[in-house]
Amino acid sequence: MSENILEMRAITKTFPGVKALEDVSLAVRRGEIHAICGENGAGKSTLMKVLSGVYPAGTYEGEILLDGEPQRFSGIRDSEQHGVVIIHQELALIPHLSVAENIFLGNERLSVRGVVDWNRTNAEAGELLRRVGLRENPITPVGQLGVGKQQLVEIAKALSKDVRLLILDEPTAALNDDDSEHLLGLLRQLREQGITCIIISHKLGEITAVADATTIIRDGRTIETLDMRADEISQERIIRGMVGRELGDRFPERTSTPGEEVLRVEGWTVRHPVQDRLVVDDASFTVRAGEVVGIAGLMGAGRTELAMSVFGRSYGKYVSGKLYLHGQEVQARSVQEAIAHRMAYATEDRKTFGLNLIDDIRGNVSAAGLRKLSRRGWVNRHEEVKVAEESRRSMRIKAPGVMSVVGGLSGGNQQKVVLSKWVYTDPDVLILDEPTRGIDVGAKVEIYTIINKLVAAGKAVVVISSELPELLGVCDRIYTLAEGRTTGELPARGASQERLMQLMTQEKDTAR
């Protein structure tokens, strides 16, 4: 058998109007963890979809060799039969079905023809869960698990298919540090068991920690493959390959000159929409004009819930709390009212809450600001195109034009569309929930630059992020949230990740 489990040769894939891949080659050695890096829209996901048969043979040019044998996969099932399994960028589990049902979906354990053998299903699922280190009952509905655990269920599902080559497209994008660490540990374990992994990630720290080799893709072409074991490869080295130049400061400089207080939230308390528990419990914070305030907290600490409920009570049941804008108490009982009070909230979940994927860039950018574009209910569509065109240029959204459908953009560019939408409403307070999730290093700098521009123009910005270095890098002040309560407030300058972690994990009885 050849040393390479996989070789992809001269892969070219075009979409109408876009050449996503051009003459890309990739060689993966047996039993290694192979990372793929590149900017948003470089073509990473597309390459993996070609490999896994999502785009079947015939829709692309080039050759795929598995164990030296040419393969022409006709679909995902075909590639899975050859032991190639992909876990997509967006989780694809069905929330109402149990863990075991999800694991064996489309691959059911049967007794007689067509009848599910529940004993086998649950027993084998339990076995797989042990392999991925997840202590959960196989009959738990997947929707009740956190994202980190769901990601593990995805891997268990892959293992159930006798995977030899596991492809993970940004598996840690939505995970916190602990969960990511666990997942990377699991990948190392799988490597011991002889499973080859291809991992796509924008978190370069992970890549330097776990990868044996890294292939860099830029603008649909292979730039280089770095051997991570032979040389000491730094993150800066990878970045240079990705963007084709030295990337200056990871967090662009900004002189902070906070002004008047713009937003004050006091004693904010919110109940879960269906369960009888408080998700936000007496939280308070303030933001001043020209200031970036961070909110740190673990998964489930109530950061998103706090932000969304403040933004027009778009989450949960409001219990109590006061909202002041420019020193005046205001009521914002609906998203419309919140927008009218010049607030904006850019969601962490762009596919579900942020974008109309079947619409074009123009329609998405204007979605929250149609009032600005219209007179007496009639939209000025020419102005709308112009606005979208300006956003596309200033945000550097990579797309053929503003009539491009948003569903066809890469993750990072979709994120920029969400930001454009809210920036166009010209808010006084802009709440950014995980603004750089799934975004490449270069685009991150761009987004930080956009944040800096906004605060320079006197806006108040709130950043919610799971990445502590990011909070420390962009914020003036940081609040910590634990179990829905604000447990601390500290200036970013001089704060450490350890101190933040300590506050984020503060138990209820020791608080205050």
Partner 1 sequence: MSHTTAPDPGTARSDAGASTGQQGGGAGSRGPLAHLQALTGNLRQSGIFLAFVAIVALFAVATDGVLLSPTNVTNLVLQYSYILVLAIGMVIVIIAGHIDLSVGSVVALTGAVSAVVVIQGGAPWPVGVAAALAVGIAVGAWHGFWVAQVGIPAFIVTLAGMLLFRGLTLRVLDNVSLSPFPDGYSAIASGFINGLLGGNGYDAFTLLVFALGVAGFAVAALRTRRTRQGYGQQVESLPLFALKIVLVAAVTMGFAWLIANSRGLPVVLIILAVLIITYALITKNTVFGRQVYALGGNLSAARLSGVNTRNINFWVFVNMGFLSGVAGVIYSSRSNSAQPNAGNMFELDAIAAAFIGGAAVTGGVGTVVGAMVGGLIMAVMSNGMQLLSIDQSTQSVVRGLVLLAAVAFDVYTKKRAGITR
Residues that bind partner 1 (CB under 8 A): 14-19, 54-55, 59, 312, 314, 334-336, 338-339, 345, 347, 352-360, 363, 366-368, 370-371, 374, 377-379, 381-383, 385-386, 389, 392, 399-408, 421
Q: Which C-beta is closer to partner 1: that of 140 or that of 314?
A: 314
Question: Tokens 């042990």 appear where?
Answer: 130
3-state secondary structure of 417: helix
Shortest Å distance, C-beta 293 to partner 1: 21
Strand partners, 218: 221
Quickly list DSSP for 116-181: B-HHHHHHHHHHHHHHTT----TTSBGGGS-HHHHHHHHHHHHHTTT-SEEEEESTTTT--HHHHH
The DSSP call for residue 233 is -
Q: Which C-beta is closer to Mg ion: that of 45 or that of 425?
A: 45
Q: Hey, which residues between 397 and 416 contact ligand ATP (CB under 6 A)?
A: 398, 408-412
Count Cβ atoms below 10 Å from residue 191 Cβ, excluding itself: 17
Q: Which C-beta is closer to ligand ATP: that of 409 or that of 451?
A: 409
Among 40, 102, 214, 225, binds ligand ATP (CB under 6 A): 40
3-state secondary structure of 483: coil
Q: Which C-beta is closer to ligand ATP: that of 34 or that of 44?
A: 44
Element (H, E) at 308: helix 303-310
The amino acid sitting at 271 is R
Contacted entry of Mg ion, ligand ATP, partner 1, none for residue 371, CB cut-off 5 to 8 Å set by kind: partner 1
Element (H, E) at 241: helix 235-243
Q: What is the dihedral of CA 98, 104, 107, 108, to 10 degrees?
A: -60
> Which tokens in the block code for residue 360?
């074009």
> Strands, E, within 205-251: which ranges?
213-218, 221-227
> Which tokens in the block code for residue 296?
């740190």
Distance CA 419, CA 424 (A): 8
Shortest Å distance, C-beta 408 to partner 1: 5
Shortest Å distance, C-beta 309 to partner 1: 12
> Strands, E, within 30-139: which ranges?
33-37, 61-66, 69-71, 84-87
Shortest Å distance, C-beta 410 to partner 1: 13
98 in contact with Mg ion (CB under 5 A): no
442 in contact with ligand ATP (CB under 6 A): no
Distance CA 56, CA 348 (A): 32
Which of 42-50, 110-118, 352-360, 374-382 is the region at the interface with ligand ATP (rule: CB under 6 A)?
42-50
Site string for Mg ion, 246-285 (x = CB under 5 A): ----------------------------------------
Q: Which C-beta is closer to ligand ATP: that of 197 or that of 263?
A: 197
Q: Which C-beta is closer to partner 1: that of 261 or that of 337?
A: 337
Which of 37-45, 215-223, 391-399, 475-483 is the region at the interface with Mg ion (rule: CB under 5 A)?
37-45
Which of 13-21, 146-154, 205-213, 327-335 is the region at the interface with ligand ATP (rule: CB under 6 A)?
13-21
45 in contact with ligand ATP (CB under 6 A): yes
> Which tokens in the block code for residue 54?
């999502």
Distance CA 53, CA 417 (A): 29
Helix %, strand %, coil % of the chain (to 5): 35, 30, 40
Site string for Mg ion, 43-72 (x = CB under 5 A): --x---------------------------
Distance CA 409, CA 444 (A): 17
Distance CA 321, CA 278 (A): 13
Among 34, 46, 99, 470, binds ligand ATP (CB under 6 A): 46
Among 44, 149, 313, 341, binds ligand ATP (CB under 6 A): 44
Q: Which C-beta is closer to ligand ATP: that of 289 or that of 417?
A: 417
3-state secondary structure of 23: strand
441 in contact with ligand ATP (CB under 6 A): no
Three-state SS string across 344-391, please?
Answer: EEECCCHHHHHCCCCCEHHHHHCCCCCCCCEECCEECHHHHHHHHHHH
Contacted entry of partner 1, Mg ion, ligand ATP, none for residue 81, CB cut-off 5 to 8 Å set by kind: none
Q: Which C-beta is closer to ligand ATP: that of 20 or that of 155?
A: 20
435 in contact with ligand ATP (CB under 6 A): no
Distance CA 28, CA 212 (A): 10
Contacted entry of Mg ion, ligand ATP, partner 1, none for residue 70, CB cut-off 5 to 8 Å set by kind: none
43 in contact with ligand ATP (CB under 6 A): yes
Give the interface size with Mg ion as a residue count (CB under 5 A): 1
354 in contact with ligand ATP (CB under 6 A): no
Residues forming contacts to Mg ion in the complex (CB under 5 A) are 45
Residues forming contacts to ligand ATP in the complex (CB under 6 A) are 15, 18, 20, 38, 40-46, 89, 398, 408-412, 440
